[in-house]
A and B are shown apart, each in its own frame.
Chain A
Amino acid sequence: MQERLKRSLMGAALAAMVLTSGCAGPPTDPDARAAYEEANDPWEPFNRYIFDVNYAMDQLFFRPIAGMYRTGVPEVVRDAIRNFLRNLRSPLILIHDLLQGELDRAGQTLQRFALNSTLGVAGFIDFADEVMGVTFHDEDFGQTLGVWGFQEGWYIMLPFYGPSNPRDTVGLVVDSFIDPVSIAMQLYGPEYGPLARSVLTALDQRSRAIDALDEVERTSIDYYATIRSLYRQRRDDEIRQGRPTATPFAPTITGEEQSPMFQTPKPAEAPAAPPPSPLFIKKGGVGADQISQRAQ
């Protein structure tokens, strides 16, 4: 029931986006255009609107509730709930480890699921991490698509859910169908299972993100744009399984930024770029940069 609601909301959001996507095109000024391409967000006005609505709802309801959860429930209990939720997710993570060809990580997920479901008392204790040092890692279909070489596509702000893109939105929908634990709950119950799981997951993730998100909001000027960058970088890192990028984009003392990450405007579409300044050397490349509330 609740899954269906989530899906139809997502459908409505996508439809609304298609309808409004005909708005402002890319800027003609080369610098503005390069910044536009770096942001990868042609639906920005619409996305900002959804972001503002999400933000208002969050400040009114979700953040206060998550705050009460954090202060009202002892840390031991909250950790046990998180362990339990992570364990329920393990079969899905295993599927993705295998789909991504990550056999070592698949072995870790399998080991964690076996140990935590038994010795960890139905998953409430993270036995595998605490005793064996096998730490948790998350996967989803969006990441699998990324590993398979699918690009993120344009940035999308989903109602309720937050930052996403077409690749990760497809992943979200597919995951809701293929999650073995969801399927099992639909077949054998309990009936309240899926709803309880979604509510607890949201509560767990929002409560753990309170400090980090407050900090980002306090230190940034444009909260929306900062979240967009953090989300894209984070997703990119998750798809690389935390391994270093071959082509980092970073400040350097010499001033020759290695910037293979972002596309420079194509000569045919934009006026010729200004002569290279000694401070910046622009190079072409594919955009792939990302806050995951999911990252603990």
Chain B
Amino acid sequence: MLTRRGVGMALLMMTAAALLSPPEHARAASEHAEGARSFLQGLADRTIAVLNQKDLPPPKRIQTFRQLFADGFDVPTIGRFVAGRSWQRATEPQKTAYLQVFEDVTILTWALRFDQYAGERLEIDRVREDGKAVILESSIIRPGKGSIKVEWRIEKGKDGYKILDIIAEGTSLAIAQRADYSAVIQQSNGEFEGLIRALRDKREKLRQQAKLE
């Protein structure tokens, strides 16, 4: 019932928007999409340049990733989304502690992931808009192994364009992580603190792996 009314409302609003919006709006919108595209392409180029510097010592490497990551992703927004519904109940110190450890874990995860880099390339195939967000449909071309379909959800905030979600072959990383974190909170009797503790353990493990490799 609620859903149907919601869908009806959305359709009505979309129709209204389509009828009312002047052509300039359309031009502005495609400019927005173009901006997102050059942002992502630039970020990919910078990342690949770092990945090709094989002689970079691990601490320096992680530091560079941290910078790239801060430029590319809206960590607080993603962190808040994946924290799930418990976010609303968390205290301010808990939120700060969580966002810090979340950022560390995410960067370490990506740094380790990139260690397996084997010459993949990013090709942006299509751009579509979804409300305020721009979705860039891309293919990650793996030499000799076919390609993977990856979508990048990008919005423009006060610090410019930021990635908010990565959807690989139809699976959203943010939604999967939200499910992961919700389960962790649930297993710790609904305590947000349980998630922070689990993330700190994870960070420790990832740090050891990053040093070993």
Q: Which A positions have Cβ atoms within 8 angstroms of B?
A: 29, 31-32, 34-36, 38-39, 215, 218-222, 224-226, 228-230, 233-234, 236-238, 240, 242, 244, 247-255, 257-258, 260, 274, 277, 279-280, 283-286, 289-291, 295-296
How close is B14's CB to chain A, nearest CB, in angstroms? 10
**Residues of chain B with a CB closer than 8 A to A32's CB:** 186, 190
**Residues of chain A with a CB closer than 8 A to B89's CB:** 31
**Residues of chain B with a CB closer than 8 A to A296's CB:** 146
**From B78, B153, B164, B183, contact of A225 by CB (8 A):** B183
How close is B179's CB to chain A, nearest CB, in angstroms? 3
Among A36, A225, A255, A289, chain B packs the most CB atoms within 10 A around the CB of: A225
Q: How large is the interface on B (under 10, 10 to 19, 20 to 34, 35 or more residues)?
A: 35 or more
CB–CB B87/A234 < 8 A: no
* B100 on the A face (CB < 8 A): no
CB–CB B86/A295 < 8 A: no
CB–CB B198/A221 < 8 A: yes
CB–CB B182/A38 < 8 A: yes
CB–CB A251/B164 < 8 A: yes
For B154-185 the 0/1 string (1 means CB < 8 A from A) is 01010000101100011110111111111111
Assess A251 versus B81: contact at CB under 8 Å? Given A215-B113, A229-B179.
yes
How close is A75's CB to chain B, nearest CB, in angstroms? 9
CB–CB A237/B180 < 8 A: no
CB–CB A29/B180 < 8 A: no
The complex places the Cα of A15 from the Cα of B178 at a distance, in Å, of 31
Among B132, B146, B172, B174, chain A packs the most CB atoms within 10 A around the CB of: B172
How close is B112's CB to chain A, nearest CB, in angstroms? 8
Q: Which B positions have Cβ atoms within 8 angstroms of A?
A: 2-3, 6-7, 74, 77-78, 80-82, 84-89, 109, 112-113, 128, 130-133, 135, 146, 149, 153, 155, 157, 162, 164-165, 169-172, 174-187, 190, 198-199, 202, 209
How close is A260's CB to chain B, nearest CB, in angstroms? 6
In the complex, what residue of chain A is closest to B79 when comparing beta carbons? A251
CB–CB B86/A31 < 8 A: yes
CB–CB A279/B87 < 8 A: yes
In the complex, what residue of chain A is closest to B179 when comparing beta carbons? A229
**Residues of chain A with a CB closer than 8 A to B84's CB:** 35, 38
How close is A265's CB to chain B, nearest CB, in angstroms? 11
CB–CB B165/A251 < 8 A: yes
The complex places the Cα of A237 from the Cα of B175 at a distance, in Å, of 13
CB–CB A242/B170 < 8 A: yes
CB–CB A222/B180 < 8 A: yes
Among B2, B180, B185, B209, chain A packs the most CB atoms within 10 A around the CB of: B180
How many A-B residue pairs have C-beta atoms within 8 angstroms? Tell me: 143
20 examples of A-B residue contacts, CB within 8 angstroms: A35-B84, A38-B179, A220-B177, A220-B180, A221-B198, A226-B179, A229-B171, A233-B175, A234-B169, A234-B170, A237-B169, A250-B81, A250-B172, A251-B74, A253-B157, A260-B3, A280-B85, A284-B6, A290-B170, A290-B171
**From B164, B175, B186, contact of A253 by CB (8 A):** B164
Assess A252 versus B184: contact at CB under 8 Å? Given A34-B85, A279-B87.
no
**Residues of chain B with a CB closer than 8 A to A285's CB:** 2-3, 6
CB–CB B3/A286 < 8 A: yes
**From A237, A244, A260, contact of B6 by CB (8 A):** A260
10 closest residue pairs by CB, A with B:
A237-B170, A225-B183, A229-B179, A251-B81, A284-B2, A222-B183, A233-B171, A229-B176, A31-B85, A226-B180
